Structure 1
């Protein structure tokens, strides 16, 4: 089974949704046969690398609300995150452009560090209040998950993986993705938003059953069996 996830590292529901999917996979008996791919989606591709606003000021400006209303919105989101064991530090989050973080994610995937990097980037932004648009910060994050520091530096200083990020974003657009998180399972089924863990669990089980139907071995008429009404043996064996 293949699961493609489009997300952005400054999207709170992306972190929550990813965690709920992981919780569902932890209960799924065939999890070792599931491949998860992390796809790029920038919420604001035009954002500056250094933004002189905090999260509340940015939200108030974007949605035309007061600072207090923006703060309350995040209190509610933080409560949802806490239910999943996540610690969101909205007061100290550093807004930025996430393009280089996405490039680093794709580089890490090629190095076999997709899961570690995906989690590290979310945690760096939402819990540790680190500047994930800053190359020095990204290099430190890369090193923390086992990537070579010098090679990561060279990659970030180049334009590598930029085209891949754009292609993934374009594919998302072709699929009609306008918001994240967005999950595509086996290139056939879509799940939009940070759905409850139970919904992901049901989806995994339903899709697995559909793709792996039971195969009847032998002739069912030859086997002894009981029903609600009686227990019977085939005539030629009585």
Structure 2
């Protein structure tokens, strides 16, 4: 089973949704048969790498609200994060552009470190208040994921993996992704948003059962005479 996850590193619900999915998979008996692939999605491709504005100021401008209302929004997000064991620190959060972070993740994927780096980047942004748009910071985080720091920095200083990021974003538009997180299970079912873990578990179990059932047909009556690979056996006649 394959689950594709479109998300962004500055999306709080993407981190919460990731935890909900992980909680569901912990209860799924066939967890070892599930492959997770992270797909790139930028909430704001035009966002500057460096800004003097706080996340509250950015949200207030985006939604046309007061700073106090924006603060209330981030407080509510922090409370939701706590329910899954995450510590969001919006007061020291550093807004930035995530394109390079996504490129770095594509590089990490070639080294088998995609999942590790994804978790590290989310934690770095929301809990550690790291500047994940800064190339130096990103290369240091790559090292924590078990990647070569110099090689990661070389990737970041060039244009490598830009096309792979754009392909993910193009694919998101083609299948109708309008917000993240967005989860696609076996290209058959889609889950939009940070749904409760039970929703993920029920969906995963449903797909597993549908794709692993031996036959979609329900038997009627008892088994009659038939032939198989071993031949045709004639049952003994009843006296």
Using the size of structure 1 for normalisation, the TM-score is 0.90
**How far did residue 153 of structure 1 move?**
1.2
SS in structure 1 of the partner of residue 107 of structure 2: helix
Residue 100 (str. 1) matches residue 137 (str. 2): no
**How far did residue 209 of structure 1 move?**
0.4
**How far did residue 188 of structure 1 move?**
1.4
Q: Root-mean-square deviation (CA), in Å? A: 1.8
**Distance in 2, Cα, partners of 1:149 & 1:55:** 29
User: Once the two structures are superposed, what CA deviation does each residue of 1:192-222 show, in whole Å capped at 9, x if it has no partner?
Assistant: 0000001001011111000011469xxx958
Match of 1:178 in 2: 178
**Distance in 1, Cα, partners of 2:90 & 2:109:** 28
Matched positions, count: 223
Q: How does 1:14-29 map to 2 (within 5 A)?
A: 14-29=14-29
Match of 2:78 in 1: 78
Match of 1:89 in 2: 89
**How far did residue 75 of structure 1 move?**
1.1
**Distance in 2, Cα, partners of 1:193 & 1:178:** 10
User: Once the two structures are superposed, what CA deviation does each residue of 1:91-145 show, in whole Å capped at 9, x if it has no partner?
Assistant: 0000000000000111111110011101000000000000000011001100001
Match of 1:133 in 2: 133
Match of 1:13 in 2: 13
Residue 158 (str. 1) matches residue 158 (str. 2): yes
**Distance in 2, Cα, partners of 1:153 & 1:10:** 21
SS in structure 2 of the partner of residue 38 of structure 1: strand
**How far did residue 66 of structure 1 move?**
0.4
Match of 2:233 in 1: none
**Distance in 2, Cα, partners of 1:71 & 1:53:** 14
User: Once the two structures are superposed, what CA deviation does each residue of 1:166-198 show, in whole Å capped at 9, x if it has no partner?
Assistant: 111000011111100000110111000000001
User: Once the two structures are superposed, what CA deviation does each residue of 1:30-89 show, in whole Å capped at 9, x if it has no partner?
Assistant: 111111000000000011110110011110011110001001011111111100000000
**How far did residue 17 of structure 1 move?**
0.4
Q: How does 1:1-238 map to 2 (within 5 A)?
A: 1-214=1-214, 221=222
**Distance in 1, Cα, partners of 2:167 & 2:145:** 25
**Which sections of structure 2, spanning at least 5 residues, go unmatched?**
224-236
After TM superposition, where is structure 1 displaced by more than 4 Å over at least 4 residues in a row? Answer: none
SS in structure 1 of the partner of residue 116 of structure 2: helix
